Amino acid sequence: MELDNRSVQILQAVASTVKISSKELLEKYALTRNQLDYAVKKINEYLRGNQYPPIIRSRNGSFIVDTKVVDAFSGIMNNESQLKADETSYLDEEHRLLVILLLIFSADYLSLYHFSESLEVSKNTIISDIKKLKQQLRKYKLTIDYSRKEGYYFRGNEEIIRGLILGVTDQVMESIYNRVIFEKYLSVASVEVNHQRDVLQQVEAELHVQYTDNRIQTAPYFLVLLNRRVQNRHYIEQRFGLLAKEIMDTNEYAAIVKVLAGQKKLPKSYTEHLYLCLYMLSLKITDLSNTFSLNTDALRKQIEAFITVLEKNTIIQLNDKTQLIENLALHLTPAYYRIRYGLTSDYTITDMVKHQLDPLFFIVKSSIAPLEEFFEERIPNDEIYLITMFIGAYMQKEKPINLDNTVVKAAVVCPNGIISSKLLENTLDNWFPMIHFVSSFSIREFYEKERELDVQLIFSTNPLETQLPVIVVGNDLSSMNKTLIVNEVIQLIYKIDSYKLQPDHILAIVKKHLPMDTEIEEKIRKELMISYNSIFQIQDQEVLTNEMKLNLADVVNAESILILDEALDWPQVLRLTTENLIERGIVEPGYLAQLEAQFPEVTPSILLGNRIVIPHTVPEHGARSLGMCFAKITQGFVSQNQRYYYVVVISATDRKQHIQPMMQLLKIASDPKIIERLDQAKNKQAILAIIEESKKK
């Protein structure tokens, strides 16, 4: 028997997640209890039919999954999974809607009869599907219309329609039904796809770039569908104006036109071939020639300015900034064309990931002005979220390479571009101090350099054909299950079946013989996890999020607030505020001397929102714990011919705990209305009330 897509997703979720409850599955997939019960029954029939142990649901609603099922069906152990769709597979509603969208995008004439026959469902089902699609498309200001002459067609902005084609194509490519949908339902022949892939590879050669693996796989399908739309006389409106000349004068434009003309693929309309060229320029790349027409030196300078502002707003000094700038330049070069010319982004960030990133995202967005100055456009939030993910992982890269302590050398293989590759590499590097990560590669780069690699282990988002041991990890950080990856690493390096050493496994044995309440159980689990991580040198830290979820109100209390009414100068203010931290044991006495040496005057590097002065230094200069002293100087003080009224001296001991408090402090510093309320505050309680409110915003 075959599983429908919903059952596939549930099976992979249960197999990939060590602790997932029925309630979480109900919420994640918007199911009723009956629907979940039916899906689990269907999954177990499938498992038994393929000689796998069934999934058992415990009394508390969690699932017990045999390790054989984990190995075979989790998205971590086997990213492609053993679940494949064939031409007889029944499409669920979600994928049927995608097919209807793509058919309307690309077909010449479609009636209810065409849909009903090809999708093998009733006309009433198609009518219901189209009604749902119309509701979904309202946010794009698009609608699906029908006429006897034209059949079903889209009405709306052609650029938005093409952006949807790109997004839907990516959705289909990520599905187990991708081959069935493209070949059976859309009649996309492999010869068409291969021809478009050849064109892209010729463009790579002409531009001296290398597209990411996922783009070189999915872009040909988009180009086939785009070509059909143009053949059906759906043309893009002329909108580039003076910007067109900027593009047409570049070497990249000439190179792409040369390839397209040589292949007799150049559209007759200049706006169409301009759109096609822009699309190719906007594709993510893994390698970039120094001869690219875009002024990458100017871009690097603006990236450097962005990093300077970011360091001030996060009070973190980033290491190896040269490499960080190069990696961001590699990502932002194609992003320039997406942003500058309003093209649709070729990736999506899930709402869950966005929620996790919110504190750091706010700080990155507040620091992004130098890049927007270069692009001469506002940078979309999805682009900023991707930069935030990379910065977040990079900020955690604190582990010095000590080859004497490393057990093996490893490489990372990722098809999704430089930002995703480095994000994954930095994450794994932080998790595993015993592994020395030599580099990250695209799939094509890996196969080209495989024989030269001096590594004993590969981490990859896709299965690879290689003699080296490969640990397949999730493609999206939010779906990576650290426990499963850690188990496999331990098995490969130490030759130990670590499933039996897991704290939860040990606790389950203990609880059989010794009842315990929830509080005691959690304390024991925590101590077991600390011991487990220590034995196997596993870092137990979150990569992007503030694990403790501290707020500014948790760091600034009545003891840490000073209201200074007398006339003071900057050295006096700095001494009084820092002594508050010294007296409370948050910093060592030498912290003051360091701040006095670093900041004889107030400089832009310690100004938050041009309102609040935030003197701070690196933890090595005497920071004992996270803390702040918030001072209001009633009469103000003058430094560099500028008067200031607020100083917050900060002590930070790592790169993550203070991120959320800093976000909230930045919001205060950036909001004139809040500053006005602080100006009117007469006592500590009034200031504390304002700070308390900051965590609600």
What's the pLDDT band for 478 if we cut at 50, 70, 90? very low
What's the pLDDT band for 76 if we cut at 50, 70, 90? very low
| Contact (Cβ atoms closer than 8 angstroms) between residue 621 and residue 591 | yes
User: In the chain, what percentage of residues exceed pLDDT 90?
Assistant: 19
Q: What is the pLDDT of residue 593?
A: 93
Q: What share of the chain is helix, strand, coil (3-state, %, to 5)?
A: 55, 10, 35
| Contact (Cβ atoms closer than 8 angstroms) between residue 454 and residue 442 | no
SS3 513: helix
What's the pLDDT band for 482 if we cut at 50, 70, 90? low
Asked if residue 252 has pLDDT above 60, the reply is: yes
Type of residue at 78: N
The closest alpha carbon to 350, from 378, 382, 384, belongs to 382
| Contact (Cβ atoms closer than 8 angstroms) between residue 383 and residue 339 | yes
d(CA 423, CA 370) in angstroms, rounded, equals 23
What's the pLDDT band for 332 if we cut at 50, 70, 90? confident
pTM above 0.75, yes or no: no
Q: What is the pLDDT of residue 483?
A: 67
Virtual torsion, Cα 232, 234, 240, 246, nearest 10 deg: -10
Q: What topology is assigned to 552-694 in CATH?
A: Mannitol-specific EII; Chain A (3.40.930)
Query: DSSP code of 258?
Result: H
Question: In three state form, how does the secondary structure of 102-127 look?
Answer: HHHHHCCCCCHHHHHHHHCCCHHHHH
Q: What is the pLDDT of residue 390?
A: 76
- Tell me the CATH architecture of domain 5-73: Orthogonal Bundle (1.10)
CB-CB neighbours of 471 under 10 Å: 18
Q: What is the pLDDT of residue 546?
A: 40
Separation of CA 575 from chain center:
42
Domain coordinates of the chain in residue numbers?
5-73, 93-288, 296-395, 408-498+528-535, 552-694
pLDDT in tens, 502-519: 777 788 888 888 888 888
The closest alpha carbon to 546, from 625, 431, 661, belongs to 661
pLDDT in tens, 273-293: 788 888 888 787 776 554 456
What region, left, alpha or beta, does residue 156 occupy, with left being phi > 0 and alpha being psi -120 to 50 degrees? left
What's the pLDDT band for 345 if we cut at 50, 70, 90? low
pLDDT in tens, 384-412: 887 887 787 677 655 454 556 667 899 99
Burial class (CB in 10 A: 0-12, 13-18, 19+), 418: buried
Segment (H or E) for 48: helix 33-49
Q: What is the pLDDT of residue 99?
A: 84
Q: What is the pLDDT of residue 578?
A: 95
Q: What is the mean pLDDT of residues 219-236?
A: 87
| Contact (Cβ atoms closer than 8 angstroms) between residue 439 and residue 446 | no
The domain 408-498+528-535 having CATH identifier 3.40.50: the answer here is yes
What's the pLDDT band for 338 if we cut at 50, 70, 90? confident
Q: What is the pLDDT of residue 643?
A: 93
What's the pLDDT band for 352 if we cut at 50, 70, 90? very low
What's the pLDDT band for 19 if we cut at 50, 70, 90? low
Query: DSSP code of 275?
Result: H
Q: What is the pLDDT of residue 480?
A: 46
Q: What is the DSSP code string of 349-409? A: --HHHHHHHHHHHHHHHHT-HHHHHHHTSPPPHHHHHHHHHHHHHHHT------TTT--EE
Asked if residue 647 has pLDDT above 90, the reply is: yes
Q: What is the mean pLDDT of the chain?
A: 80
Asked if residue 181 has pLDDT above 70, the reply is: yes
Q: What is the mean pLDDT of residues 31-56?
A: 84
Q: What is the pLDDT of residue 499?
A: 62
Asked if residue 542 has pLDDT above 60, the reply is: no
Asked if residue 189 has pLDDT above 80, the reply is: yes
d(CA 475, CA 213) in angstroms, rounded, equals 13
